[in-house]
Structure 1
Amino acid sequence: MSIIDKLPYEWAVGIRYTRAGKRSARNSFISFISLISVSGIALGVAALIVVLSVMNGFQKEVTDRMLAVVAHIEIYDERGAMPDWQGAIKAAYQNSAVIGAAPFAETQGMLMYDGVMKPAVLRGVLPAEESKVSDVPNSMVKGQGSFDALRAGEFNIILGSELAKALALKVGDKVTLAVAPGDASAAASSPRMVNFTLVGIFEVGHFEFDSGLAFVHMADAQVIANLLAPAGVRLRLADLHQAPQVTQELARTMPGSLLLRDWSKHNPTWFAAVQSQKKMMFIILVLIIAVAAFNLVATLAMTVTDKQADIAILRTLGSSPRSIMKIFMIQGALVGIIGTAAGVGAGVLIALNVDVIIPFIERVLGMQFISKEIYFISALPSDVRWPDVCLIAAVSVGLAFIATLYPSFAASRVKPAEALRYE
């Protein structure tokens, strides 16, 4: 006796109807339609898992690379400079979530070399302290250990790889920085020119920073920006996701007139756009699953028509309309579960191997799908999140179950006498 024979008869009959019965043109066609339904559900589920995994990976990759440069929290003094930055750092460390702090100053200017000009954000740092709040000192591709070469008064500079490439610079070259006059009343006067020596090149993998950020010593940045003290301090947290909460806590506990900004406010439009795109893609691809799931309506309707004699016999043997309805609901649900399981398996497998599959397709087609100038990164990342996979599977099975209700109800309404009249 098989396992199926040990089940309640509604389950046994429903499972047997899921499998192909005796060969006939009609049964073969019903089996083909059922296979299309399973394949459609599997394809929709796999597509949804892959798309959401890629979008999750894209968001995570860009965020990680951005946070290699951007501090988790930035604190500014409303006066434009923070003379007591040591006291501010000490106060920030009173919060147990803060694990690193360093002062900084920023200004903007135009870098010029051999007739080429590129805009850049000039960030003044203390070389010994910068590794506490960013990963740039560990991301040097030229001039290893060159952060130590950023000494006060020597006007040395470190550039992003794309910025150095655009200016055709190499370590040791002299580059000129043009900055606007510090006095607002001198707006019409010529910009100030400062010569720097390139001592290192960094690459964090985020195009925005690699192409537009430069590091100098804090004292040199203060001279250029006409600041008497650092502009503020930058903080790193043990858990970056606590940044909004910690920002509110620090705003209440730190003294002085301060402005605080956490990393999620650095590019809020981008984060909001990604979240909106994820929601819209989920809705659109769920509609694909819904179309495939509702193919079950046609499949079950044809099965009900084909099995009217069986239904009549079951009714005459004492089966209730509820039992008949359960049989066809089990059949449809099994089709949905099989399709969902196949889609989850295929989707997770593809999502986990996107980094291999996409480069292969790009080589075959001779094209690049991701431009780092637009998307900040050049490779397609993937981050499979199991809560998303479980949600997709639940939605798929739920839609398949809903699709079984009407055909199953129609089967329960079959009248035995009419069904057997022409048998």
Structure 2
Amino acid sequence: MFHPLSLYIGLRYTRARRRNHFISFISGISMVGIALGIVALIVVLSVMNGFHKEIQQRILSMASHATLSDPFGGGLDDWRPLLEQVRAHPDVVGAAPFVEVQGMLANGSRVSGAMVRGILPREEDQVAELRRDMIGGSVDDLVDGEFNIVLGRDLAGYLGVAPGDKVTVVTPQVSATPAGVMPRLKRFTVSGVFSVGMADYDRNAAFIHMRDGARLLGLGDNVSGVRLKLTDMWAAPRLVREIAYDLGGAYRVVDWTQVHSNFFSALAMEKRMMSIILFLIVAVAAFNIVSTLVMVVTDKQSDIAVLRTLGASPARVMGVFMVQGTAIGLIGTLVGVVAGVVLALNVEPVVAWIEGVFGVHFLDPSIYYISALPSDVQLVDVLRVGGAAFAMSVLATLYPAWRAARTDPAEALRYE
């Protein structure tokens, strides 16, 4: 005889043509529901991963992986030997000095706040991708003493300037003049425009040559800090601690996860809440198995009684219906995982086809900087979704199987 008996009978019940077609229909709905829930969850998580990855890349194309600065908020006067020291570290890919100030940019009656950063163009290439994001002019136009400035696209649009126009940079530092204390200001020539695709930079950032910035801020030969690019951006918290230890704790070291912690925490919370919401779809489909098995148990009362009279233990009877419900959940899970991964890997052409057929735009390029749906399928998400769905399916079999195991043979066969 086929062993184990519970597996044989449970699989036979799953394959058999039941007299009650409604039960078969409910079983099919349970499988389809589990599969659709898993597909939706995998696709949504993959798209969210793609968005997060895209946003992180855009942020880190301008922001450094880590920054060294004076712990007391002043400038660094020993930045040249510091550069050589950190560049010798095996986990540092590049390093560049900078000066930075929150100032105001003015063109006529139009005034806007902005983060003004002074850079050395060639050095900046080691830690950021400003050169790649230029849509007008060149980073190399930032020459010492010429007082040129590169603006974000949205900032230039708000000020109404283009390459060749003049803007006035006003800083919080003050100078004593015969007319009294006045803020420091300087006329700069717009030499270029960049576009990162992030409003934080395109609307609020401007770049000048580091020497021009030092003159404007009265820093002399000092700089505000040193920006670092690391071998592994995801290991930045650990690497910056090692670098700070190697430097003897003489500098304030901040990595990108600290600078943008609120933003990335919000993204992580959004993904977590979306996962919970979509898991409810899978849970509803999984617990349809309960109603399916309850009806099967009711329909098979006489069969259960015969098995009991032939010596089947309650545990073996319970195993029969657990196998049947688990088979339903396993089929739905496998179909959902395969379909979800395939759709997630091809979500961009699928969305493009839908847009072409129906003439709609899910991400209007005139509104959103990202005009296509990026997708990043991660194995851990697929395994987590599939495992959770299958586990819920197994749990859903316990109550109906327990009821079957409690069937009284004499009572079930009384009217047979």
Q: TM-score, normalised by structure 2?
A: 0.90
For the residues of structure 2 that align with 1:91 and 1:118, how far apart are their CA atoms? 38
For the residues of structure 2 that align with 1:7 and 1:99, how far apart are their CA atoms? 62
Shift of 1:215: 1.2
Question: What per-residue deviation string (whole Å, max 9, x for no partner) do you get for residues 214-240 of structure 1?
Answer: 111110111122212111101100111
- Alignment of 1:149 with 2:121, yes or no, is no
Shift of 1:330: 0.6
Question: What per-residue deviation string (whole Å, max 9, x for no partner) do you get for residues 231-266 of structure 1?
Answer: 110110011112111211222221574211101111
Given that 2:117 and 2:213 are in contact with CA atoms closer than 8 Å, whether structure 1 keeps it comes out as: yes
- Alignment of 1:398 with 2:391, yes or no, is yes
Counterpart in the other structure of 1:11: 7
For the residues of structure 1 that align with 2:107 and 2:258, how far apart are their CA atoms? 34
Q: Quick one: which of 51, 58, 64 aligns to 1:58? A: 51
Change (3 A) 1:302 1:255: closer
Change (3 A) 1:280 1:212: same
Change (3 A) 1:108 1:79: closer
Aligned amino acid, residue 17 of structure 1: Y
Q: Quick one: which of 238, 246, 254 aligns to 1:253? A: 246
Counterpart in the other structure of 2:215: 223
Counterpart in the other structure of 1:82: 76
Given that 1:208 and 1:376 are in contact with CA atoms closer than 8 Å, whether structure 2 keeps it comes out as: no
SS at match of 1:333: helix
Shift of 1:379: 4.4
Change (3 A) 1:183 1:251: farther
Q: Quick one: which of 130, 133, 140 aligns to 2:127? A: 133
Unmatched segments (≥5 aa) in structure 1: none
Counterpart in the other structure of 2:199: 207
Counterpart in the other structure of 2:301: 308
- Alignment of 1:45 with 2:45, yes or no, is no
Shift of 1:348: 2.1
Change (3 A) 1:365 1:192: farther
Counterpart in the other structure of 2:170: 178
For the residues of structure 2 that align with 1:54 and 1:356, how far apart are their CA atoms? 13
Shift of 1:297: 1.1
Given that 2:174 and 2:182 are in contact with CA atoms closer than 8 Å, whether structure 1 keeps it comes out as: no
For the residues of structure 2 that align with 1:205 and 1:11, how far apart are their CA atoms? 57
Counterpart in the other structure of 1:413: 406
Change (3 A) 1:138 1:376: closer
Shift of 1:53: 2.0
Unmatched segments (≥5 aa) in structure 2: none
Given that 2:175 and 2:183 are in contact with CA atoms closer than 8 Å, whether structure 1 keeps it comes out as: no
Counterpart in the other structure of 1:167: 159
Shift of 1:61: 1.4
Q: Quick one: which of 86, 92, 97 aligns to 2:91? A: 97
SS at match of 1:121: strand
Given that 1:127 and 1:148 are in contact with CA atoms closer than 8 Å, whether structure 2 keeps it comes out as: yes
Identity %: 46
Q: Quick one: which of 9, 13, 21 aligns to 2:17? A: 21
For the residues of structure 1 that align with 2:364 and 2:173, how far apart are their CA atoms? 40
Counterpart in the other structure of 1:323: 316
Aligned amino acid, residue 109 of structure 1: G
Change (3 A) 1:300 1:38: same
SS at match of 1:230: coil
For the residues of structure 2 that align with 1:193 and 1:404, how far apart are their CA atoms? 74
Given that 1:207 and 1:372 are in contact with CA atoms closer than 8 Å, whether structure 2 keeps it comes out as: no
Aligned amino acid, residue 13 of structure 1: I
Question: 5 Å matches for 1:104-115?
Answer: 104-113=98-107, 115=109
Shift of 1:163: 2.1
SS at match of 2:21: helix
For the residues of structure 1 that align with 2:194 and 2:121, how far apart are their CA atoms? 14
For the residues of structure 2 that align with 1:402 and 1:256, how far apart are their CA atoms? 54
Question: What per-residue deviation string (whole Å, max 9, x for no partner) do you get for residues 197-224 of structure 1?
Answer: 2222222222211221111111011112
Cα RMSD for the two superposed structures: 2.8
Change (3 A) 1:83 1:292: same
Change (3 A) 1:116 1:79: closer
Shift of 1:309: 2.1
Counterpart in the other structure of 2:256: 263
Shift of 1:20: 5.1
Question: What per-residue deviation string (whole Å, max 9, x for no partner) do you get for residues 350-369 of structure 1?
Answer: 32233344456667475655
Counterpart in the other structure of 1:280: 273
Counterpart in the other structure of 2:378: 385
For the residues of structure 2 that align with 1:43 and 1:185, how far apart are their CA atoms? 72
For the residues of structure 1 that align with 2:146 and 2:2, how far apart are their CA atoms? 86
For the residues of structure 1 that align with 2:176 and 2:274, how far apart are their CA atoms? 48
In the alignment of these two chains, the number of paired residues is 413
